[in-house]
Amino acid sequence: MSEDLKCRCLNCLKRFPIQSNVKEATCPHCNIKYRISWPWPDQPKIRGLAK
């Protein structure tokens, strides 16, 4: 069972899906790439912009 993991984009404030355990994710709305951390296995958190 895969959860529907989502994170809120810091730029456009829309939520977008994130695949489990990825280190980086790109907002599909504004194409900004973020670094993702996982304080909990089912809770992605945006750490900042990816280089």
Q: Which amino acid is at 25?
A: A
User: Least CB distance from residue 3 to Zn ion, whole Å?
Assistant: 21
User: Least CB distance from residue 28 to Zn ion, whole Å?
Assistant: 8
4 contacts 16 by C-beta, under 8 angstroms: no
User: Least CB distance from residue 50 to Zn ion, whole Å?
Assistant: 13
Q: Which is nearer to Zn ion, 26 or 38 (CB)?
A: 26
Where does this chain bind Zn ion (CB under 5 A)? 9, 11-12, 27, 29-30
Q: How many helices (H) and strands (E) in the chain?
A: 0, 5
